[in-house]
């Protein structure tokens, strides 16, 4: 099944991937399409992602979000499952990319695990070039598992062939600002830290800031990052 839509002369064609639900939220005069993958524990319709999509649309970014297969299975039978192995997640994301056609620039992105998958794909330059993918955005990159700082996941950020924007809470349990400052990652990676933010960018009340403020700032940062990329093209 395919869905064809035209937005201000930009032709968008989404061919439904097998066993993978998705939703395209378009805006007029879009500057890019962000393909956004969820994190390990919440699907594409979690209120956190709903809020992000609304904010991205307000910044003239169309968004294609999708579920990984294990999450669709969870929705069908209600059984909580761990995420699929990374190769299966990567293949799913590749399927989404392969079945999506647009003449707009594409940014691949995700929350936590979803961002890690997107960053992994960015090491495949032929794939990126073939599909007009211009950059990567990671919202809360999982640099290591919780309480396992020795198990680093730096390879995608060292091998990336694209610019990467990492939006990270200062006190993220999967990679805090203090920890990250000692990591060796590609100069293509831009890091933006959020005051007192946790893995979801949520600050504590005593900080005087709110999650809503941090989300808006994160999406504003996304738009600025995308504008930089578009200006360089």
Q: Show me where the domains of the chain are located.
A: 2-232
pLDDT band at 233 (very low <50, low <70, confident <90, very high): low
Average pLDDT over residues 172-177: 98
State the pLDDT at residue 17: 47
Predicted pLDDT at 232: 82
Confidence at residue 123, expressed as pLDDT on a 0 to 100 scale: 95
* pLDDT value at 120 more than 80: yes
Could you give the angle at the alpha carbon of 72 between the alpha carbons of 22 and 86, nearest 5°? Answer: 90
Q: What is the rounded average pLDDT of the residues 1-11?
A: 40
Highest CATH level, class, for 2-232: alpha beta
What's residue 18's pLDDT?
Answer: 46
pLDDT band at residue 79 using 50, 70 and 90 as cut-offs: confident
Average pLDDT over residues 127-149: 97
pLDDT of the residue at 2: 37
Least confident range from 3-12, 124-133, 164-173, 220-229: namely 3-12
Instruction: Give tens-digit pLDDT for 190-208.
Output: 999 999 999 999 999 999 9
Task: Count each helix (H run) and each strand (E run) in the chain, helices first.
Answer: 8, 10
pLDDT at position 19 is: 65
pTM for the whole thing?
0.92
- Over the range 140-156, which residues count as b (16 or more CB within 10 Å of their CB) and which as e? bbbbbeeeeeeeebbeb
Average pLDDT, stretch 116-139? 97
Percent of the chain exceeding pLDDT 70 equals 91
Element (H, E) at 6: strand 2-7
- Average pLDDT of the chain, as a whole number: 92
**Bridge partner residues of 107 (DSSP):** 34, 135
The answer to whether 180 touches 156, Cβ cutoff 8 Å, is no
Instruction: Indicate if the pLDDT at residue 4 is higher than 70.
Output: no
> What's the average model confidence in pLDDT over 167-174?
99
**Res. 139: pLDDT tops 70:** yes
| Pairing between β-strand 164-169 and β-strand 133-139 as defined by DSSP bridges | parallel
Task: Give the mean model confidence (pLDDT) for residues 49-61.
Answer: 98
Q: Tell me, what's the pLDDT at 76?
A: 86
Of 11-20, 21-30, 94-103, 222-231, the least confident: 11-20
């Amino acid at each position: 099944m395919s869905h064809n839509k035209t937005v201000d002369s930009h032709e968008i064609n989404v061919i439904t991937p097998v066993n993978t639900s998705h939703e395209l939220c378009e805006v007029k005069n879009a500057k890019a399409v962000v393909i956004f993958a969820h994190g390990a524990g919440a699907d594409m319709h979690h209120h956190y992602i709903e809020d992000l999509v609304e904010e991205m649309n307000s910044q003239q970014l169309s968004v294609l979000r999708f579920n990984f297969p294990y999450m669709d299975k969870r929705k069908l039978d209600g059984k909580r499952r761990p995420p699929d192995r990374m190769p299966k997640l990567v293949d799913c994301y590749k399927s989404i990319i392969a079945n999506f056609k647009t003449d707009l620039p594409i940014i691949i992105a995700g929350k936590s695990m979803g961002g890690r998958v997107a960053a992994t794909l960015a090491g495949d330059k032929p794939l990126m070039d073939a599909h007009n993918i211009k950059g990567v955005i990671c919202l809360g990159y999982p640099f290591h598992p919780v309480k396992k700082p020795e198990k680093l996941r730096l390879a995608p950020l060292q091998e990336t062939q694209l610019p990467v924007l990492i939006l990270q809470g200062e006190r993220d349990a999967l990679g805090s600002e203090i920890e990250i400052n000692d990591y060796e990652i590609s100069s293509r990676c831009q890091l933006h830290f959020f005051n007192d933010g946790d893995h979801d960018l949520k600050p504590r009340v005593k900080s005087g800031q709110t999650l809503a403020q941090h989300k808006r700032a994160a999406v504003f940062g996304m738009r600025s990052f995308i504008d930089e990329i578009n200006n360089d093209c």
